[in-house]
Amino acid sequence: MKINAQTIVWFDKPVKEQKLTATLGSNKKLLLNDALQSKLPENIQFGFDMSSRTLLIVGTQDSKYKKRKMNTVFGLAPAIADLGMKLPVSFDFTYDKQNNWWVGQIILRKKNSEYDTEQILALYKPLADKIFKKMAKTTPPEDRRQNIGLAFCEAAKQYTPDRGNFEEYLTKHTEYLVKMANHAHVKYVQMESKSIDAAFHNDKSQNFNLYSVIKYNDLNYVKIENKMLDEQFERQLTKSELSVYKMLLNEYTIEEISENLNILPEKIESLAKSVGIKRKKFYLS
């Protein structure tokens, strides 16, 4: 068969796109790699957003901010330290056309082929706080914090790039494990009354309760969590405090409560104040 030179298609090796990175070293100097430096204008200014943990670079007309390969960025090292992270820290940059600036996301560091747990715990503390406030409120606060930390550590060990975006993976993994831990907690807690998380049997081997039939993806999960939380709070009240509390929830006035319970209004106010103090301590702990 004769080869026609006109119909031959030659395959090129794909050009590997260079990453645009910068590293804040132990010497507290910010080193720009060649690819990033070539993209930046002659005069640049740096900024750091604490909430999103991103380093920003923007062009400026001020010649005192001349671009250098090795830059001293005053305040950046202390900001990183305030987040609980250790140097060196590297950033991966992309260009934001809408705002005309370069956005640098912190690159997750690896130790012995695993992602650095200490860095992840510091970097994603806002996520941990969000999960802490949102989920598993029937689990004691100390245990809840510990469960979130353990979930973060496990996610750091198990994550691989093929699992997708790290933060999304971390969120789903942590929420699932925290939910599981909370399920185990309420399942074995013995309550005085048959509430939703109270065991139906005194025999510890029979640990079934209403919580056992709740699916993890139940849309009413938060509502059920709040109900259990309310029940726990009410058990901390005295009989008189509970009576006053229930009537206040039903929008009775002090005078009406006094008349119904045959207690002086001054005593009702004192009980209501006591309930308020306990409620604030319980729900904000």
Looking at every residue in the chain, the average pLDDT score rounds to 83
What pLDDT sits at residue 236? 86
pLDDT bracket for residue 248 (50, 70, 90): confident
Of 1-5, 50-54, 188-192, the one with minimum mean pLDDT is 188-192
pLDDT at 218 over 70: no
Of 11-25, 138-152, 178-192, 233-247, the one with minimum mean pLDDT is 178-192
- pTM over the 0.85 mark: no
Beta strands in 73-130 (DSSP E): 89-96, 101-106, 110-111, 114-115
Of 74-78, 86-90, 154-158, the one with minimum mean pLDDT is 154-158
What pLDDT sits at residue 120? 92
Q: How far apart are CA 54 and CA 82, in angstroms?
A: 14
pLDDT bracket for residue 285 (50, 70, 90): low
pLDDT bracket for residue 55 (50, 70, 90): very high
Q: Helix, strand or coil for residue 267?
A: helix
Domain boundaries, the chain: 21-107, 114-222, 233-283
pLDDT at 197 over 80: no
What pLDDT sits at residue 191? 42
Q: How far apart are CA 132 and CA 165, in angstroms?
A: 21
Q: What does the DSSP assignment read for 172-205?
A: HHHHHHHHHHHHHHHHH---SS--TTS-S-SSTT
